[in-house]
Structure 1
Amino acid sequence: MYYAVIFTSTRTEIEAGYAEIAIKMLELAKAQPGFMGVESARNEIGITVSYWDSLDAIQKWKTNMVHLEAQENGRTTWYKNYKVRIAKVEREYEF
């Protein structure tokens, strides 16, 4: 069992600084204890799913100071809206 944080978003037209922060957030997340991986796609909406070994790890990521700053920039500059969902993954399979 592990957890998925599902982040869906609609972007504004503003691109300045977004790609650099996205790379920085990925590098920072990978360094966080409990981080297990990430998948992402963007068309009309963006969907990023990050995987974590515990709710505690998710909470620590959510309150990371650098991540908090990026979240604020997202709300004021890069996103029209977003939603975060946290789900428990009880089973997985793949082809």
Structure 2
Amino acid sequence: MKKEESLIANTPAPPYYAVIFSSIRTEIDEGYGKMAEEMVNLAEKQPGYLGHESARERLGITVSYWESLESIRNWKMVSEHLFAQRMGREKWYSSYKTRICLVERDYGFEF
């Protein structure tokens, strides 16, 4: 069996931070996919970005990993990200919640 590219972020040893973004979408899809892709590409270029994981069914959950609270604050203030946040509130999300957590321990398993 061929090993697929991992969908699980390869994070460093803790401590580091996780931003958990949980959302419920509206029926409006106009521009959402393109904007989501642009935000991933932009986040990956930000100082302190460590990786992300995302899943969507009825509830969407994206977890991004960062080396510091400062890197999270800086990402939140990037102008393109501010625009995407505004569009999310106005068009794409009926509700969302953001949580910021300190990861103190992690462990896992892979083949």
TM-score of the superposition, structure 2-length normalised?
A: 0.85
Taking the TM superposition and a 5 Å limit, the aligned residue runs for 1:39-50 are 39-50=53-64
The alpha carbon displacement at 1:44 in A equals: 1.1
Q: Relative CO higher for 1 or 2, CA cutoff 8 Å, sep ≥ 6?
A: 1
Structure 1: gaps (5+ residues): none
Percent sequence identity over matched residues? 57
Q: Distance in 2 between matches of 1:24 and 1:44?
A: 22
RMSD: 0.3
Q: Aligned residue for 1:24?
A: 38
Structure 2: gaps (5+ residues): 1-14
Higher helix share: 1
Aligned residue-pair number: 95
Taking the TM superposition and a 5 Å limit, the aligned residue runs for 1:1-95 are 1-95=15-109
The alpha carbon displacement at 1:39 in A equals: 0.1
